[in-house]
Structure 1
């Protein structure tokens, strides 16, 4: 099934990099924190610790096309992700944004600004020399505990 993206283009679900990611395929596949019926939460596959994605399971292009149940599940997952990141990484800030047009599949970024991030870097910049790196698989497993019972 194809969904119309915000710019009017269609992207078949079979060609979608986020759908491939949910199947554990492609360059976007990273450690999974939570996989529910409506949303999937995962850590970026490489780079700095603390940049996660909340994505709808269903191939849908944008926020306004989500069902009420999907929007509620996204909001709940984003909040639990932020709570977990705050507790596990003790960042300066936890940000959330729906940005980008690289994939016509709804995805929300939830990411930290680590303490010590140079002040001159924009709020969206997470990767800098000295940024905390580590085991994203291990962090994802710890963050998964925040989803228990959901």
Structure 2
């Protein structure tokens, strides 16, 4: 990690240590990024996070940005193949947690049209996220 190393107070740093409420099944990891499934909720909601504690997209190194892009694409391809969703969406977030993370998630077949793209459908399919993450690893 760089000089922007944070160990206390960051939920994503804690997650990477295996602690806290955000820990979910890991799909892929390398020296720059971690891809994991959301610990609860709809099947097919992934996070692509930098290992280094860095808050914003413009603060990423070129190598980190490239790794995030590759991982997000691999996640989307895997979700499309394994879940057959209507869409696979991606959003970069960071206000609530000042550690770069990109959401990559399936909008499942049958989701009501009036539901905004970013809201989770209460009747979305649930299932074994660990089993799905095992299948998704083949796409990385």
Scaled by the length of structure 2, what TM-score is found?
0.94
Question: Given the alignment of the two structures, is residue 142 of structure 1 paired with residue 135 of structure 2, yes or no?
Answer: yes
2:102 to 95, 103, 108: 108
> Corresponding residue for 1:64?
58
Alignment map for 1:1-150 (pairs within 5 Å): 3=4, 12-128=6-122, 130-147=123-140
Partner of 1:6: none
The answer (yes or no) to whether the contact 1:91–1:112 under 8 Å persists in 2 is: yes
Q: Distance in 1 between matches of 2:72 and 2:46?
A: 9
1:45-94, Cα deviation, whole Å (9 max, x unpaired): 00100110000000000000000000000000000000000000000000
CA RMSD of aligned residues (A): 1.5
Unpaired runs of 5+ residues, structure 1, are 4-10
2:93/2:100 contact within 8 Å kept: no
- Which segments of structure 1 move beyond 3 Å, counting only runs of 4 or more? none
What is the aligned residue count? Answer: 139
